[in-house]
Amino acid sequence: MYSTCLFCNSDLGRNEVIEHFPVGRRLAFDEEKGRLWVVCRKCERWNLSPLEERWEAIEECERAFRATKLRASTDNVGLARVSEGLELVRIGRPARPEMAAWRYGDQFGRRQRRYYTYAGLGAAAVAGVYIVGPALGLYAIGGVGFLGQAPQLMMQGYRRAFGRVKVPMPWMEKPVTFQAEHIAKANLVSDDSELGWALRVPVSGKQFTPPDMPRRIGDPPPPRLAREGRRTIATFTGTEAVRVAGKLLPKINMSGAGKDDVQRAVQLIQDDAGGGRFFARQAHGGTGRAIKQIPKPVRLALEMSLHEDTERRALEGELAMLEAAWKEADEIAAISDNLLLPAEVDRWFTRLKRGG
């Protein structure tokens, strides 16, 4: 049973209420369609469960939801807080805009609040400088001119710290880190492949080397690498374009959005039967612009449509794809954890767990 968020690799937490599914602190379920999600409390994204025993877990969720009186609901979606702080979201038959408001409103809203928090801290730093600067003699030494750049410096630090992402590649020994400055220049282009679009991303030449592992049957093809001036450009196609785009788009949209932009994004994909066609249209009309430069509702719609298209394919029987994604998330989380701790500390924790 997986316990790591597919999207941000954070621990999903545990509960002792749902015996058949003890993962997560907020669960969303659709009894009619047999769907169960774990909502990550850090990034607010919905992780679809590929577990076969989800039917028993869904029945437990339904019983627990009906047993509590702490409920808030619209016509088709309800929220209940049961024992030990577990939250349950019960899905009825919502229209797409209503479902989108529940699924995407929280995650884009949380990103926006976090982004504005950092911007506010930078503004507060500047205000403090102008208030106490004269008393400290900062004008005389040019300190105000330097510290006046605090908002820009703080947001640059924020983007560098949170705007990068590690993506495992089946043909590389280690995950590839896409830096914020590379992600900001990613763009969609028309392609002759089945999808009709490809993803182009500048990459680090030192880290992004040609395949150094033997290809296995079923492995996706590596990206096409090309030099453009001093930059190395990787062009991803097919399933790899979908997978890598799914990792990069949350970073491109890291500033989040309000309800109005979310609803505009929903409207854009309302009549779209699948994320691939929406992507192909954007690639055809984008004229090489970076994704980050296109209007916010379109960027949000790209992320939303890709998420929904991935779930649609999983629900149509490709659960092996979803299983692989969960395993990848667990591996990335383990790598991240190990990078933060010296080997001696890791061994010490292991001894403690064994009672030594």
For residues 125 and 178, membership in a common domain is answered with no
For residues 179 and 266, membership in a common domain is answered with yes
Q: Which residue has the tokens 């779930």?
A: 311
Please say whether the beta carbons of 44 and 107 come within 8 A.
yes
pLDDT-derived band at 13 (thresholds 50, 70, 90) equals very high
Find the mean pLDDT for residues 131-156: 53
Q: Do the strands 87-91 and 46-48 form a parallel or antiparallel pair, or are they unpaired? A: unpaired
Numbers of helices and strands, H then E, in the chain: 12, 12
Q: Biggest alpha carbon distance in the chain?
A: 71
128 belongs to a structural domain: yes
Using CA atoms, how far apart are residues 324 and 13, in angstroms rounded to an integer? 20
Phi and psi at 111, nearest 5°, equal: -60, -45
Indicate if the pLDDT at residue 336 is higher than 50.
no
316 belongs to a structural domain: yes
Q: CA 246, 177, 213 angle in degrees (round to 5)? A: 95
More confident residue, 315 or 107: 107
Residue-wise pLDDT tens digits, 158-177: 566 677 888 888 777 778 88
Instruction: Return the exposure string of 164-195: e unless at least 16 CB atoms fall within 10 Å of the residue's CB, then b.
Output: ebbbbbbbbeebbebbbebbbebbbeebeeeb
Query: What is the model's pLDDT at position 317?
Result: 57
> What angle do helix axes 275-285 and 296-315 make, rounded to 10 degrees?
150
Using CA atoms, how far apart are residues 183 and 162, in angstroms rounded to an integer? 12
Indicate if the pLDDT at residue 95 is higher than 80.
no
Side-chain-side CA neighbours of residue 274 (13 Å): 11
Query: What is the model's pLDDT at position 339?
Result: 40
247 belongs to a structural domain: yes
Helix/strand/coil percentages in the chain, nearest 5: 50, 15, 35
Find the mean pLDDT for residues 126-136: 51
More confident residue, 138 or 83: 83
pLDDT-derived band at 346 (thresholds 50, 70, 90) equals very low
Indicate if the pLDDT at residue 345 is higher than 50.
no
For residues 197 and 248, membership in a common domain is answered with yes
Residue-wise pLDDT tens digits, 311-332: 777 666 545 555 666 566 666 5
For residues 272 and 184, membership in a common domain is answered with yes
Question: pTM for the full model?
Answer: 0.73
Question: What is the total count of domains within the chain?
Answer: 2
More confident residue, 71 or 165: 165
For residues 253 and 311, membership in a common domain is answered with yes
- List the single range of 18-22, 43-47, 95-99, 199-203 with lowest mean pLDDT: 95-99
Query: What is the model's pLDDT at position 251?
Result: 92
Using CA atoms, how far apart are residues 233 and 189, in angstroms rounded to an integer? 13
For residues 255 and 141, membership in a common domain is answered with no
User: Which residues make Cβ contacts (< 8 Å) with residue 159, sequence separation at least 6?
Assistant: 180, 254
Phi and psi at 28, nearest 5°, equal: -115, 140
- 77, containing H or E segment: strand 77-81
Indicate if the pLDDT at residue 155 is higher than 70.
no
Using CA atoms, how far apart are residues 60 and 46, in angstroms rounded to an integer? 19
More confident residue, 143 or 54: 54
Give the amino acid at 277. R
- List the single range of 99-108, 116-125, 294-303 with lowest mean pLDDT: 116-125
Query: What is the model's pLDDT at position 156?
Result: 64
Cα–Cα separations (whole angstroms), residue 280 to 47, 227, 249, 252, 298: 25, 24, 16, 18, 13
For residues 237 and 323, membership in a common domain is answered with yes
63 belongs to a structural domain: no
Q: Is 86 left (phi over 0), alpha (psi -120 to 50) or beta?
A: beta
For residues 181 and 207, membership in a common domain is answered with yes
171 belongs to a structural domain: yes
For residues 247 and 180, membership in a common domain is answered with yes
For residues 182 and 314, membership in a common domain is answered with yes
70 belongs to a structural domain: no
Instruction: Write out the residue range of the structural domain in which residue 132 sits.
Output: 107-159
16 belongs to a structural domain: no
For residues 319 and 200, membership in a common domain is answered with yes
Indicate if the pLDDT at residue 89 is higher than 80.
yes
For residues 231 and 286, membership in a common domain is answered with yes
Find the mean pLDDT for residues 38-64: 86
Please say whether the beta carbons of 198 and 235 come within 8 A.
yes
Using CA atoms, how far apart are residues 297 and 305, in angstroms rounded to an integer? 12
Average pLDDT, the chain: 77
More confident residue, 336 or 72: 72
173 belongs to a structural domain: yes
Find the mean pLDDT for residues 1-18: 86
Indicate if the pLDDT at residue 338 is higher than 80.
no
Q: Which two tokens stand for residue 127?
A: 């205000």
Q: Which residue has the tokens 């500048």?
A: 202
Nearest to residue 247, comparing CAs of 193, 189, 182, 192?
182
Q: Which residue has the tokens 């629900």?
A: 315
- List the single range of 30-39, 90-99, 106-115, 184-193 with lowest mean pLDDT: 90-99
Q: Which of 125, 144, 159 is the last residue of a domain?
A: 159
